[in-house]
A and B are shown apart, each in its own frame.
Chain A
């Protein structure tokens, strides 16, 4: 869950719903202060829209014209409950209330998402201001691994395959003339990467017991 790579500016996945939003807002403030045209991007789900700190940050980012792109992957589910039972408004209306730019897009169409994000990011680099990109998508798997999803309609789940973003991208590429053996090559390469990573992880030693306390505080320079 807590994947992060600060060497590329990836500030970490968060275990607390919505908590990436204030952190990214702060990162956007730092980037604006640095004045080099960098922007911050945060991904979150529609479930996060019920968290109070998210509204605090929408207000603050808009008030201070911070260069942060809020990307909501709206799959209609807040953990085990439909979002319509959780949210009395919509992200579009919330965004409007906080005077931010808003775009919504079919989140399962990779080309449409890319184009929409590109437009927002280009504008943001020209003039620091927050924006919201709402990607309407679906949730194929459960909230956690092993979630039987027995709270969902079986027909709805079985219909999701047709909307799978990889399938849709493949159909698009096929109609653009990409050959079938190219897909097979890609699939083999990705499967090999995953297999190698899995094998390496399983073969790696358990972390030493000293790792428990190693990074609680920054080691002193002395």
Chain B
């Protein structure tokens, strides 16, 4: 199977979605002529023309609002927010408009729009270009939130997001953009709300998503040297999330670690831990341990950022705590 970079898989998904449905269009800052800050939209202007891909002014609220308005007028916009940090400027349009329109107007309409938002650190980009803010959106009824870890899932979930009738926040980890993975010639869509078992194991479950899946895999390698067999559940979809898959794995391993790059406090992991402590309490042989970033802005200094971001060593330590 051919190997493809993560960013190419995003690009191909956009290309294929625009080919499949002429109502799909792209809007964002520098997405057309420049092909996007991370080149996710490269080549789309040449292929589809300026009626299908729009270089917007630096106006995140307008970009998101225009997407809402176009979506409820029959289009399927895919908006790019250049860095997820800038999504703060679009919050009213996402939270009060896109997420609420269907419910507020008695089910008269759907809002089929996607907002692509690159998150994550490791690029020495500082506190306003590195944040992982996905938990905010998972907390808002009406939104769906996805975060793939492989090129195949990036392709398949983005196609599913664009096909979906409801607003989707599609979170891409910048550190994964150059990563390679298998992508078949005619890649399938990936259903929203379904986790994947990224590594089967029997001793401990590591629930994670996005770039932290790679950290979990490295941690599992280290642990296997000590005879500890970790199972990795890649959530892929954060809202809705696959509670049944996590419970299934926990029922097998009886130990649980939840790991993400985002700030640990009040994060995605907190919800998973709370649910498992409720519905999975009888399965637990040890306290659940979380891995996440400290409660501080992402630092700029390379040394500090390296110390700040969760690593595979942190996951190894967390797993060992569940086995004490």
Residues of chain A touching chain B, judged by Cβ–Cβ distance below 8 Å, are 2, 4-7, 11-12, 14-16, 19, 21-31, 33-34, 40, 52-53, 56-57, 59-60, 63-64, 214-218
Distance in angstroms between the alpha carbons of A56 and B166 in the assembled complex: 25
Tell me how far the C-beta of A16 lies from the nearest C-beta in chain B, rounded to whole angstroms. 5
B65's closest neighbor in chain A, by CB? A22
* Residues of chain A lying within 8 A (CB to CB) of residue B77: 26
Whether B57 and A56, one on each chain, are in contact in the complex, defined by CB atoms closer than 8 angstroms, is yes
CA distance A14 to B68 in the complex (A): 13
Out of B64, B70, B144, name the residue touching A30 (CB < 8 Å): B70
Decide yes or no: A22 and B96 within 8 Å by CB, A53-B61, A63-B57 being known contacts.
no
Chain A neighbourhood of B107, CB < 8 A:
214-215
Q: Does B188 contact A (CB under 8 A)?
A: no
A26 CB contact (under 8 Å) in B51, B67, B108: B67
Asked if residues B92 and A53 are in contact (CB atoms below 8 Å), the reply is yes
Q: Tell me the bound Cα distance from A64 to B68 in angstroms.
A: 17
Across the interface, which residues of B come within 8 angstroms of A217, CB to CB? 102, 142, 144, 166
Taking a contact as CB atoms under 8 Å apart, the answer to whether B69 and A30 are in contact is: yes
CB neighbours of B92 from chain A (8 A): 16, 19, 53
Residues of B within 8 A of A4 (CB): 104-106, 108
Most chain B CB atoms below 10 A, which of A2, A14, A26, A34: A26
Contact of B69 among A5, A25, A64, A215 (CB under 8 A): A25
Please tell me if B198 contacts chain A, counting CB pairs below 8 Å: no
Residue B141 lies at the interface, judged by CB distance under 8 Å to chain A: yes
Question: In the complex, which of the residues A23, A26, A52, A216 contacts B141, with contact meaning CB atoms closer than 8 Å?
Answer: A216
Can you list 22 A-B pairs, Cβ within 8 angstroms, ordered by A?
A2-B105, A4-B106, A11-B73, A12-B104, A12-B105, A16-B97, A22-B93, A25-B65, A25-B69, A26-B70, A26-B77, A28-B69, A30-B70, A30-B75, A31-B73, A33-B70, A53-B62, A53-B65, A60-B66, A63-B57, A216-B102, A216-B141
Which of A40, A56, A216 interacts with B142 by CB under 8 Å? A216
Are A215 and B102 in touch, CB under 8 angstroms? yes
B160–chain A nearest beta-carbon distance, Å:
12
Which residue of the partner chain B has the closest CB to A215? B107
Minimal Cβ-Cβ distance residue in A for B105: A4
B87 to chain A, nearest CB (A): 14
The CA-CA distance from A51 to B137 in the complex, in Å, is 23
CA distance A52 to B166 in the complex (A): 26
Q: Is the beta-carbon distance between B69 and A29 smaller than 8 angstroms?
A: yes
Given A12-B101, A216-B102, A217-B166; A57-B62 close (CB under 8 Å): yes
A25-B27 Cα distance, complex, nearest whole Å: 13
The answer to whether A6 and B72 touch across the interface, beta carbons within 8 angstroms, is: yes
**B108 engages A56 (CB within 8 Å):** no
Confirm or deny: B74 has a beta carbon within 8 angstroms of a beta carbon on chain A.
yes
A27 with B70, Cβ < 8 A, contacts A19-B65, A60-B59, A214-B107 known: yes
Mask: chain B, 42-54; 1 = CB below 8 Å from A; 0 = not: 0000000001001
Q: B142 near A30 (CB under 8 angstroms)?
A: no
How many angstroms between the C-alpha atoms of A26 and B167 in the bound complex?
A: 15
Q: How distant is the Cα of A57 from the Cα of B73 in the complex, in angstroms?
A: 17
Inter-chain contacts of B109 with A (CB < 8 A): 6
Is B25 close to A, CB under 8 A? Answer: yes
Nearest CB in chain A: distance from B221 CB, A: 39
B165 beta carbon closer than 8 Å to chain A: yes
Given A60-B57, A216-B102, A216-B141 in contact, is the A29-B70 Cβ separation under 8 Å? yes
Closest 5 CB pairs of A and B: A22-B65, A26-B69, A26-B66, A56-B59, A30-B73
Q: Is B166's CB under 8 angstroms from A30's CB?
A: no
* Chain A residues with CB below 8 A from B97, complex form: 14, 16, 19, 23
Judging by beta carbons under 8 Å apart, are A26 and B103 in contact? Answer: no
> How far is B105's CA from A15's CA once the two chains are assembled, in angstroms?
12
Question: Would you call A27 and B72 a contact (CB within 8 A)?
Answer: yes
A34 to B, closest residue via Cβ: B74
Task: Assess the B59–A16 pair: CB atoms within 8 A.
Answer: no
Is A23 a contact of B105 with CB atoms below 8 Å? no
- Which of chain B's residues has its CB closest to A214's CB? B107
| Alpha-carbon separation in the docked complex, A31 to B70 (Å) | 8
6 more A-B residue pairs beyond the given contacts A4-B105, A22-B66, A26-B70, with a C-beta to C-beta distance below 8 A: A29-B66, A59-B62, A215-B106, A216-B103, A216-B142, A218-B165
Given contacts A218-B102, A218-B110, contact A23 B65 (CB under 8 A): yes
Contacts of A64 in B (CB 8 A): 54
Chain B residues lying within 8 Å of A56, measured Cβ to Cβ, are 57, 59, 61-62
